[in-house]
């Protein structure tokens, strides 16, 4: 299927009727008021995409499956890089400060997590203690010394900044790739495994 949604994409169009019969009321209300769902990394049946439903509270997260035919709108993290907001929270201040550097880094980047959700939907999701979650599309190797430079820059931001590197074989945490471990955790729809090189599938080993 062409243009299947990717992890962290936000999708509109899922209805409460598509939720499991035992879904909590907060999940029903989230969809009823028109909130999007976020694509997650998991296997799904043909014609469906694995998604997560957000509630108001941090612990209110529900794994579900959305019919692809129901998708009315799709917004990717990279589409949110330059969306403005009137809200004054640390995560958005950090985003504003980091934006010029990220624009010049040579890679495609995007905003995910609570910041991405709020910028895309208009529904309040961030608070004073919210992290800023970013993704970086890295089809080719990002050297570990480059990763360390990014972490050092992020550590000067107004809040904690977490970035996922999106390789052709899955995602790895920037902070982990910048660390000293010989192998790092690579996550994709099929599994999570320790690898020496997230850009070389032959290096993968459980």
Asked whether residue 89 falls in the same domain as residue 166, the answer is yes
Range 92-97, long-range pairs (CB < 8 A, 24+ positions): 92/126, 93/158, 93/159, 94/132, 94/157, 94/158, 94/159, 94/161, 95/132, 97/157, 97/158
103 falls in which pLDDT band (50, 70, 90)?
very high
Task: Find where tokens 């990279």 sit.
Answer: 78
Q: Which of 47, 75, 103 is the C-terminal boundary of a domain?
A: 75
Asked whether residue 41 falls in the same domain as residue 57, the answer is yes
Asked whether residue 25 falls in the same domain as residue 45, the answer is yes
pLDDT for res 202: 67
Catalytic residue among 104, 131, 155, 162: 131
Instruction: List all residues 6 or more positions away from 115 whose beta carbon is below 8 Å from its beta carbon.
Output: 80, 91, 92, 95, 125, 126, 130, 132, 133
- The strand order across the sheet containing 184-187 reads 108-112, 132-137, 161-167, 170-173, 184-187, 192-195, 204-205
Express each pLDDT in 133-175 by its tens digit: 999 999 999 999 999 999 999 999 999 999 999 999 999 999 9
Asked whether residue 95 falls in the same domain as residue 188, the answer is yes
pLDDT for res 33: 96
88 in active site: no
The answer to whether residue 144 is domain-embedded is yes
* CB contact at 8 A, 71 and 12: yes
Range of 163's domain? 77-205
Q: For the chain, how many structural domains are there in total?
A: 2
Query: Which tokens belong to 116?
Result: 């991405």
pTM for this predicted structure: 0.92
Asked whether residue 26 falls in the same domain as residue 113, the answer is no
Express each pLDDT in 78-95 by its tens digit: 999 999 999 999 999 999
pLDDT for res 157: 97
69 in active site: no
Asked whether residue 86 falls in the same domain as residue 48, the answer is no
Asked whether residue 132 falls in the same domain as residue 63, the answer is no
The answer to whether residue 155 is domain-embedded is yes
Q: Which of 23, 42, 75 is the C-terminal boundary of a domain?
A: 75
Query: Which tokens belong to 170?
Result: 């899955």
pLDDT for res 22: 95
Asked whether residue 124 falls in the same domain as residue 66, the answer is no
Helix (H) or strand (E) holding 136: strand 132-137
Alpha-carbon span 96 to 176, nearest angstrom: 24
4 falls in which pLDDT band (50, 70, 90)?
confident
Query: Strand 161-167 and strand 132-137: pairing?
Result: parallel
Catalytic residue among 86, 88, 104, 133: 133
The answer to whether residue 68 is domain-embedded is yes
């Amino acid at each position: 299927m062409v243009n299947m949604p990717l992890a962290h994409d936000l999708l509109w169009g899922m209805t409460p009727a598509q939720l499991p019969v035992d879904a909590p009321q907060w999940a029903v209300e989230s969809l009823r008021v028109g909130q999007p769902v976020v694509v997650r990394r998991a296997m799904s049946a043909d014609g469906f995409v694995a998604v997560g439903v957000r509630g108001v509270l941090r612990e209110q997260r529900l794994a579900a499956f959305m019919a692809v035919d129901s998708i009315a709108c799709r917004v990717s993290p990279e589409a949110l890089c330059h969306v403005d907001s009137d809200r004054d929270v640390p995560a958005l201040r950090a985003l504003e400060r980091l934006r010029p550097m990220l624009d010049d880094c040579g890679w495609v980047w995007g905003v995910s997590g609570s910041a991405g959700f709020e910028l895309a939907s208009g529904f309040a999701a961030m608070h004073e203690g919210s992290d800023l979650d970013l993704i970086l599309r890295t089809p080719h190797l990002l050297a570990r010394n480059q990763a360390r430079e990014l972490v050092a820059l992020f550590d000067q931001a107004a809040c904690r900044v977490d970035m996922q590197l999106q390789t052709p074989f899955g995602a790895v945490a920037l902070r982990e790739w910048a660390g000293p471990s010989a192998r790092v955790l690579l996550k994709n729809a099929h599994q999570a495994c320790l690898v020496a090189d997230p850009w070389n599938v032959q290096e993968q080993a459980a």
